[in-house]
A and B are shown apart, each in its own frame.
Chain A
């Protein structure tokens, strides 16, 4: 059965801390791995990773994929209260549909 597992399930940090969120997967016909941020409703796109070892970076956020070990990490440095959200990891499954298989998410709370 295809699955995506995220850890930790939740995390509380203080502003300025650095956090690492984990995502491991076992998905047939892997095409890519995506990270989304979900604050109130719509998941908003952060990164799409297809190649191992190439870091994607956007401001204080970065992510990397290891296709051999089947995992990805999302790093957030110098966290701010606005980073508080659920972070979703999803694997895009190749084929006719390119559907996404989601993990349960990591709830990040950044305290002032």
Chain B
């Protein structure tokens, strides 16, 4: 079963530092997403990426956030200057042409702790 791979699984960073969360989506997928889940809260949409560009971003995804798909396999989320409230589990997800049958596949997440 193909998987979405995320690294690192856990990252601790100091407030104001930049972090890069990495994801390797399933290779033949077309739609790529970042979601986050603050502890005890619901999973929230951050950004979607299709055809090498952002197709939608939420209000959470402000100028401190950026995404890249630099080499056709990796998909990264960068937070330029982290805040305490950025502490959350960040999930990468991808979907392909068969998403009507198989849905969207989520990675295991990166737990970001900002101190």
Contacts and interface: CB of A to CB of B under 8 A. Distances in A.
Contact of B33 (A32, A96, A99, A103): A99
A97 B56 contact: yes
Contacts of A98: 31, 48, 95, 99
Q: Could you say which of A36, A47, A99 has the most chain B C-beta atoms within 10 Å of its C-beta? A: A99
A24 B4 CA distance: 29
Contacts of B107: 42
Interface string B23-62: 0000000010101000001111100101000011000000
Contact of B108 (A34, A41, A45): A41
Given A96-B50, A102-B43, A104-B42, A42 B106 contact: yes
A43 interface: yes
Q: How large is the interface on B (under 10, 10 to 19, 20 to 34, 35 or more residues)?
A: 20 to 34
Interface string A90-112: 10000111111111110000000
Contacts of B105: 45
A88 interface: yes
Interface string A73-96: 000000000000000101000011
Nearest to A50: B100
A99 B106 contact: no
8 contacts: A42-B106, A43-B43, A50-B100, A90-B43, A96-B50, A96-B56, A98-B95, A99-B48
Which 6 interchain pairs have the tightest Cβ spacing?
A45-B103, A97-B48, A97-B56, A102-B43, A41-B108, A42-B108
Interface of A: 32, 34, 36, 41-45, 47-48, 50, 88, 90, 95-105
Interface of B: 4, 31, 33, 35, 41-45, 48, 50, 55-56, 89, 91, 93, 95, 99-109
